[in-house]
Structure 1
Amino acid sequence: MTELRDPRDERRGVRADLSVVAVVVALVAAAVVVGRSLLADGVEIFLGWPPLLAEWLPHVGPGTPAAILVAGATVVWGPGLAARLPWAPLLWTAWAAASAWTVSLALVDGWQRGVVERLTSGEEYLADVPRVAELGGIGPMLRVFSDHILTTAVDPTQTWFWTTHVGGHPAGAFLLFTVLDRIGLGSGGAAGVVVMLVGSSAVVAVAVTLRELGHEDLARRVLPFSVVFPGAVWVGVSADGLFAGWLAWGVALLAVAAVRRNAFVAVGSGLLLGYTLYLSYGLVLGGLLPLAVLVATRRWRILIPTVVGVLVVVGAFAAAGFWWFDGFADLRVIYAASAAATRPYSYFVWADLAALAFASGPAGVAALRRTPTLPRAALLLVGAAVAAILLADLSGMSKAEVERIWLPFAVWATVACGALPHPRRWLVAQAVLALAVNHLLLTVW
């Protein structure tokens, strides 16, 4: 027998959702006002449009028509197709749509400025790739990687140091871009496309995880929200978008391994999760997501082959000469002497959450109110993502730029959107926010 819902309860629920959005809008407004006040007072927070790392620059570009078209198609047909299409074709369609959304948003800034230059600036990974050949190859580079993390500002004996993003991350991130260069994908355009494709594939990984945990219906409801995820503004193009896709597939493979009791897949998951530790130091908090999968499935024995995979990666980097803890210690030194030194914790500890709201979108923040209505496994995943964000926030190691840095966690918080009623209305809100951000602001990466 179908349970009848009281329309008054539904209206109260919608009003509560909108109230949450209103509170977050107020938080964002406060972050803008206080951030601009800090700038006016001469405080160096290194943000052109606080709380985002961006500049006010209304513009359109070649990606504008495509972005509007993808958004419109997702709003009109997305929920219906997500409910009806067979599973495999649905996943391919979702990845294609998410990739089109991400690429078209990047092209609002143009091919050169929006894609090519994002990974080739003097602070980015590709700028340091020629040094690998100068050092004698990948092996020698890994052996001396930690020796060149500290800048001359904190170690005057340094003759040279890695660019900001290379030195600010473990060696695995730079190694990926070096390998891309070795296989002919080292240009800004080619590497940018790879980053966007991998980052967009998180849509599929999240859906696969939910289905393996027994919630295909929820996965289908979430997919349209994952497609028009406002954080795609920063997936195209920042390496953190690639990190989001990488971590998501590590979690998805663990879900497959746990549910199907497949030790071989568990080792593969461990390899991906282990390498995730070498993409960004902050992604150690991403370990809460695979933990959520294990708690949801109660298949603790699968942890053994998973840990074997992780240890293979850790051992390989250690044997090559890079020790994670040494790199992290050096990072803390340069972080204390970087822009973070003048970025006040008292502002960013709450303004970072306002910045993240731009990536999560109104649906993302409203859906958190409905998280308790989710199935247990989904609740654990969303809880793990939120916990990782809060821990990163309170640590003081993420002062600003979190709209991209926290993408690996934000894609999982989107799972809560599956609990929202009237999905098309919320999809419109998500798309409008992303389009507004990309057309009114020039994001740096």
Structure 2
Amino acid sequence: MPGGPRRDLYAVGAAALLVTAAVLVGRHIQGADRTLFADWPPLLASWGPHLGPGTPAAVLVAVATVAYGPPLAARLPWRILAPLTWGTATAWTFSLALVDGWHRGIAVRLTTPHEYLQAIDRFHDIPAALRGFTGHILLGSPDNWPAHVAGHPPAAPLTFVLLDRIGLRGGGWAGMWCITVGATACVAVLVAVRALADEGLARGAAPFLVLAPAAVWTGTSADAYFTAVAAWAVALLALAVTGRSLWWAGASGLLFGLTCYLSYGLTLVALIAAMVLVLGRRGIRGRPVLLVPLLTGLAVVPTAFTLAGFDWWEAYRLLVTRYHQGVGGIRPYGYWVWANLACTVLVTGPAAVAGLRRTGAVLVHRCRDAPDRAAGVRLALLVSTALLALLVADLSGMSKAETERIWLPFTLWLLPACAFLTLPRASGSSPRFSTLLEQGGPPRAGGIPVRAWLTAQALLALLLNHLLLTRW
């Protein structure tokens, strides 16, 4: 493998120091002038050790996934592995949310003054609400929108309006929607990795996608739902360019258009999409007509909202103004520009840090033993592009704090790098892959067993959820 386990541990140690610095410096800044607006920086959370009804279930899911996840990921037929991954990720997320109890953990998360459900009654006339949407974004405007409604295009609040219209009313249904739909993002990533890189690498990533500490914020935040939509847009694009399917291309374009009307920042998913097109360029050359349904699908949602009277660009311009009218204009960029990265470490976990270290090593050594490393290089390029999108979001200054949920659509794509930890050499699948994964890693090959990395991921999630009272 490129480098060794010692370098993995060095990378994890450096990441731990970054998190420690972010906590200590953040606590000092918040105590001195309270400009961070976060009680336990770099997370939007407060200290509050607690147990809850979800604790036994969370421990059980973690133990079962660590014990049986690697061998099942290696042995199960793909048609069973994909839904099992979704089901387990859903159970993991639900159990973590229920550590705070049903009421605080799920039912009221999306009903607070800043959330979407506060504005549902204002969409009784949807066409009129869309035409007047931009007139309520600024803080000084009459009946200005709650923070999250103002901070997103109208497809985000409309989702919860439509849930309400079909009878799924209240915070409980909204929370369950975000968790169950959000958990499907894991499957979307597996589908994309399998199509673009290698099935062995996708199988290696599956247990890590399930036990990601990000699940703490997947349940319950609307960003989990946004993450799933964006992830499936990428996955369907991967299927389109590798399978040369016009239907998948059209569906992917439709979801990409919806993604841009769920969150302004998710336009950066275009970077990941561009890498998918690069990796699947042979499919496009073989059938360039794929671009027609892709672009047609992409135009559907923007056209519909524009015809309804919503101006995306004007709304974004007003949002930037509102962002600086509120705490976004007070929070210091000089702290959050690096503390956000510490937050990302907590969301993705130590295994992802080591996986990213190996991702860089794969790219550096990509010319060596090229036939064996082709799949690994493709995965490394996909992961690196997601990291680039995250860094662009960071440097923009529009993501100061709360990135534990805001960046879920990007951090999700860093987790497949953990697949490199399942092989002694990060070279895609090999004849030894199944054996190594079934055994939980190569304990006698000088590496750290896969189950050890999974345990670290689960422990971090459990500690975060039980020691802190998170906002989402």
TM-score (norm 2): 0.89
Q: Which residue of 2 aligns with 1:3?
A: none
1:77-92 superposed matches below 5 A: 77-92=68-83
Match for residue 4 of structure 1?
Answer: none
Q: Find the aligned partners of 1:97 and 1:264 in 2 and give their Cα distance.
A: 29
Say whether residues 1:332 and 2:332 are aligned partners: no
- When the two structures are aligned, how many residues end up with a matched partner? 428
CA distance in 2, matches of 1:336, 1:150: 10
Q: Residue in 2 aligned with 1:347? A: 335
Amino acid in structure 2 at the alignment position of 1:204? V
Question: How far off its partner does 1:303 sit?
Answer: 2.8
1:17 partner SS: helix
Q: Which residue of 2 aligns with 1:442?
A: 469
- Offset of residue 341 of structure 1: 1.5
- The percentage of counterpart residues that share the same residue type is 52
2:377 and 2:164 mapped to 1: Cα distance?
Answer: 43
Consecutive unaligned residues of structure 2, counting only runs of 5 or more, are 363-374, 423-448
Give the aligned partner of residue 284 of structure 1. Answer: 267
TM-score (norm 1): 0.94
What secondary structure, in the 3-state scheme, does the structure 2 residue paired with 1:55 have? strand
Report if the CA contact (8 A) 2:197-2:376 is conserved: no
Summarize deviations over 1:230-261 as a string: whole Å, max 9, x none. 00000000011111111000111111111121
Q: Are 1:386 and 2:350 matched, yes or no?
A: no
Residue 370 (structure 1) aligns with: 358
Residue-by-residue CA offset, 1:293-346 (whole Å, 9 max, x unaligned): 110010342233211111111111100111111110010000111111221111
Asked if 1 retains the 8 angstrom alpha-carbon contact of 2:35 and 2:331, the reply is: yes
Do the aligned residues in 1 keep the contact of 2:230 with 2:255 (CA within 8 Å)? yes
Q: Is 1:321 the equivalent of 2:309?
A: yes
Partner residue, 1:129? 120
Q: CA deviation at 1:397?
A: 0.7
Q: CA deviation at 1:381?
A: 1.4
Amino acid aligned to 2:326: S
- The letter for the 2-side match of 1:423 is V
Q: Write the deviation string for residues 154-185 of structure 1: whole angstroms up to 9, x where unpaired.
A: xxxx2211101000111111111111111112
> 1:179-218 to 2 correspondence within 5 Å?
179-218=162-201
Q: Which residue of 1 aligns with 2:152?
A: 169
- Paired with 2:291 and 2:148, the residues of 1 have a C-alpha distance of 32
Deviation at 1:278, TM superposition (A): 0.7
Kept in 2, the 8 Å contact 1:103–1:196? The answer is: yes
Q: Deviations over 1:75-95 (max 9, x none)?
A: 000000000001111111110
**Pick from 30, 35, 38: which aligns with 1:47?**
38
The answer on whether the counterparts of 1:292 and 1:377 sit within 8 Å (CA) in structure 2 is no
1:144 and 2:127 equivalent?
no
Query: Can you list the C-alpha shifts for 1:43-65, whole angstroms capped at 9, x where unaligned?
Result: 32100101100000000000000
| Structure 1 letter corresponding to 2:16 | V
Distance in 2 separating the partners of 1:200 and 1:277: 20
Contact 1:389 1:406 in 2 (8 A): yes
Using the TM superposition, give the Cα deviation of residue 71 of structure 1 relative to its aligned residue in structure 2, in angstroms: 0.5
Q: What is the CA distance between 1:377 and its match in structure 2?
A: 2.4
Structure 1 residue 281: deviation in Å?
0.7
2:425 matched to which residue of 1? none
2:408 maps to amino acid: L
**Using the alignment, how far apart are the partners of 1:439 and 1:214 within structure 2?**
37
